[in-house]
Amino acid sequence: MSRLLKWALVAVVVVAAGYFVVAGWILSGVLKHVVTVGGMLSGIETQTADPYALNYDGDPGKAFGFAFEDAQVQSELGPLPAWIVPGAGAPTDLWMVYAHGIAGRRESGYKALSVAQPLGITSLLFSYRNDEGAPAAPQGVYGFGVTEWRDLEAAVNLASQRGARRVVLAGDSMGGAIIGEFLVRSPQRSSVVALVLDSPALDIRAITRGFAARIGFPLPAAVAWVARRILPWRVGIDFSGAVTLPAVAAVPGPVFDAHGTADSVVPISVSDELDARRGGRMTYLRTNADHVQSWQAEPERYRAELTAFLQALARP
């Protein structure tokens, strides 16, 4: 090999390495802004007209006329505000515990709540660390479930203390990641009988690849890989390996999953893989919606399929 060719190869390697480092740093900066409390996801204007919208502001009584109890979940960081909404009819041991998405609100659970309450399922909707009214995490970032699962565990403990023996875990977006980490890490997972998911963020690799592709980086998978290695140094939490899809796929009980093909945050491929791994043992509401917008896209179908799913669990 000639000296010129050797130097040319060295130059290509140096340029490629420089590209991936710079592109990875840029992408990690975008991701840092996404997960930083008070960052680009903050300051969303709320409204009081549509309880099924993600920015609704109001308790279950204002939203639906449901009786509810203000409660506190005792977490390792301090008390977390919560609502307990009794199911219609006589109390049962079946509860739904809802984990909302990143920078979201307890009200994000109202779609599922509106179906569960008439079926007699008691629901617990709670705020977790970094939410308004809840303790702040020391790092000041959302942990993609790696830290928040402990708050979900505390919520499940409260439900158990109040009579829950069978628990349906429900969540949207990063709430799915929280549920996934809970299933991997918590001894309380034995009480879980079913999952209700919406656009679940079960694979950080797919999400970061999607961000890289939408920004327009060439070789987005490689850029995302580099960004995931840089990000822990920038935010103080290592969630570079937050892939809980296998744990969710292995859940023995039934799973409901709503996801849209136009999702601009969590690629539909995540739920497609989950469905494939479960071999069809999943109620899969596959729509053409954007992120957590499947209810808005097909409200009648969503309500009908979720009702049938939860009704099967609520039967004696």
- Structure token digits, residue 244: 């809980």
pLDDT for 282-305, tens place per residue?
999 999 999 999 999 999 999 999
| Residue of higher predicted confidence among 194 and 3 | 194
Confidence of residue 1 (pLDDT cuts 50, 70, 90): low
Dist CA 207 CA 204 (whole Å): 5
pLDDT for 245-286, tens place per residue?
999 999 999 999 999 999 999 999 999 999 999 998 999 999
The pLDDT of residue 117: 98
pLDDT for 73-96, tens place per residue?
999 999 999 999 999 998 899 999
Confidence of residue 10 (pLDDT cuts 50, 70, 90): very low
Instruction: Give the full edge-to-edge strand order of the sheet including 122-126.
Output: 69-75, 78-85, 122-126, 94-99, 166-172, 192-198, 255-260, 283-287
Confidence of residue 186 (pLDDT cuts 50, 70, 90): very high
The pLDDT of residue 9: 57
The pLDDT of residue 17: 62
The pLDDT of residue 21: 80
Each domain of the chain, given as residue ranges in start order, spans 1-35+208-241, 46-203+242-314
* pTM, entire model: 0.94
**Mean of per-residue pLDDT scores for the chain:** 93
Dist CA 205 CA 159 (whole Å): 33
Stretch 115-126: mean pLDDT? 98
pLDDT for 162-185, tens place per residue?
999 999 999 999 999 999 999 999
Sign, CA dihedral 239-168-130-290, equals positive
Stretch 26-46: mean pLDDT? 89
pLDDT for 151-164, tens place per residue?
999 999 999 999 99
Q: What percent of the chain has pLDDT over 90?
A: 86
The pLDDT of residue 316: 67
For the domain 46-203+242-314, what is the CATH superfamily, name and number?
Answer: Alpha/Beta hydrolase fold, catalytic domain (3.40.50.1820)
Task: For residue 164, give Cα distances in angstroms to 124, 167, 226, 269.
Answer: 11, 7, 43, 34
Stretch 120-140: mean pLDDT? 96
